[in-house]
Amino acid sequence: MAVSLNASSVAIPTIALDIGLMALLVVVAFAIVRMRSLFAIVMLQGVYSLVCAAWFVSLDAVDVAFTEAAVGAGVSTVLMLAAMLLADRKSEPVPMKRQWGPLLIVLIAGAAMILAVGDMPNYGAANSPANSYVGMDYIARTAEDIDIPNVVTAVLASYRGYDTFGETVVIFSAGLGVLLLLGLNGNAGRWRAKPNGHRVFRPSAPAAAVSKTSDETKPNETKKRRGRPRKSKASTPDGGDK
């Protein structure tokens, strides 16, 4: 009780900020559902991450906010933009009859979770199970054990250093996987799968896209196929593979 009184005397502007950020997040998420232009979807996803980062600051998670703004809003948006340039610009509309099933599943799952909210500890409760034991122990011990002010850094690099080591292993394997999937020698846009010696799908995608809408995809196209004569590109899409 004393805690909530203390909070309500201080935190009315904070609550207003929180509600504004939540409303913004809901609007952005619903816009992602409605959009069909992939560019807009990717940029909105970056906006979503950035607004989340702002909310993290309001929720006292400043380190998470840094990381989310740099990695979530920065790196992953760049990655998705790059993939979008290599893949497609528009998504096809989904017919309404195929949306009812997912909608039903999502509504049921969401209703179940909202029912469970009643059992959650109150927002900001200092004596909730999550906030009681090991987390607060880290705060009490960091000053003497590690003697740096930032507890998150201390936990990340020292107490749970093996977690961080495993994380770097994950990043390394992900980079390795991307290299193996896209080719190690810069041939990312040129390789075509030929199971049993047959082409799976006839039209070589980038060339077909270029012949249809020339202006937008052309810079990307020429970059991907550099070193080949540009004339034969549209007519014989699979000429230079072997």
Partner 1 sequence: MFSEFLADYNYIVVIILMMTGLYVVFASRNLIKKLAGLSVFQTSVFLLYITISKVSGGQPPILEKAYAKDYAGLAPETLIAAAEGAGKAAKGHGYNLDITYSNPLPHVLILTAIVVGVATLAIGLSLVVRIREVYGTIEEDQIEKADYIYNLEGTAD
Residue 63 sits in the site that holds partner 1 (CB under 8 A): yes
Using rule CB under 8 A, residue 164 touches partner 1: yes
The two three-digit tokens of residue 34, written as one number:
């409605």
Here's the x/- map for partner 1, 109-138, by CB under 8 A: it reads as xx--xx--xx-xxxxxxx-x-xx--xxx-x
How far apart (Å, rounded) are the C-alpha atoms in residues 158 and 164? Answer: 9
Residue in 184, 196, 212, 235 binding partner 1, rule: CB under 8 A? 196
Residues 6+ apart with CB under 8 A from 68: 49, 52, 53, 56
Q: Which one-letter DSSP state was computed for residue 97?
A: G
For 46, residues 6+ apart whose C-beta sits below 8 A from its C-beta are: 73, 74, 76, 77
**Among 184, 200, 212, 235, which residue interacts with partner 1 (rule: CB under 8 A)?**
200
Interface with partner 1, residue 56, by CB under 8 A: yes
Stretch of 18-26, 213-221, 225-233 contacting partner 1, by CB under 8 A: 18-26
228 binds partner 1 (CB under 8 A): no
> In angstroms, what is the minimal distance from the CB of 119 to partner 1?
10
Distance of alpha carbon 114 from alpha carbon 106, whole angstroms: 12
Q: Determine which residue in the list 17, 54, 188, 234 makes contact with partner 1, applying CB under 8 A.
A: 188
Q: Is 88 in the site for partner 1 (CB under 8 A)?
A: yes
Q: Which amino acid is at 196?
A: N
CB-CB contact of 28 with 47 (8 Å): yes
Q: Closest separation between CB of residue 230 and partner 1, Å?
A: 19
